[in-house]
Amino acid sequence: MESKQSNPLVQYGLISALVGVLFYIILYLGGVKLFMSPVAYIAYLIPIVFATLATIKAKSNNGGFLEFSQALKIAFGVFVITSLATTVLSYVLMNFIDTDFAQAMQQATLEMTEKMMKKFGASQDQIDKALTEASKKSPFTLGKMALGFAFSCILWFLFSLIIAAIVKKKNPQNDMPQTL
């Protein structure tokens, strides 16, 4: 029974990772503008869809029942596999394959930061100080990418809780009768 429940995790996790990586590459090929556009937010939907599908598949494999803990494990596993794949791709792309793209991304991020700070009424001195500080640090170092991965896992765990709560269905045969 365990192999049936863990199989959707691996199957859907790898499919989600592959789709996530392909979408990341499409964004990259579209350039910095596409990479930073609202279209890029679709990347967040990919693991949500596949985590949900994986838990539904596991529930189906288990006769229509799936404990909350198993649903949580499967959903979170799909998120972690997908996040790890895209984080590794991002690290390799930005640090080894196309460092010019990484610099263009950092410049575009600085420009967005400046616009946002102006919108919120920050003084020019505050803006200049923040941009100078931010331009000294690469957001694509191994440490920062690992930290980003860790924070994304926290966020994905919250989504996993929601998916598990929705998909779970306790098997009444597993409940032990109460005797006095």
Specify the pLDDT at position 177: 60
Specify the pLDDT at position 136: 86
- Per the document, the length of the chain is 180
Buried b / exposed e over 49-75, threshold 16 CB at 10 Å, is: ebbbbbbbbbbebbeebbbeebbbbbb
pLDDT digits (tens, 9 = 90+) for 123-173: 999 988 888 988 888 899 999 999 999 999 999 999 999 999 999 998 888
The reported pTM is 0.88
pLDDT digits (tens, 9 = 90+) for 36-87: 999 999 999 999 999 999 999 999 999 999 999 999 999 999 999 999 999 9
16, burial (CB in 10 Å: exposed 0-12, middle 13-18, buried 19+):
buried
**pLDDT, greater one: 1 or 95:** 95
pLDDT digits (tens, 9 = 90+) for 103-124: 999 999 999 989 999 899 999 9
132, burial (CB in 10 Å: exposed 0-12, middle 13-18, buried 19+):
exposed
Segments making up each domain of the chain, as ranges: 2-98+145-171
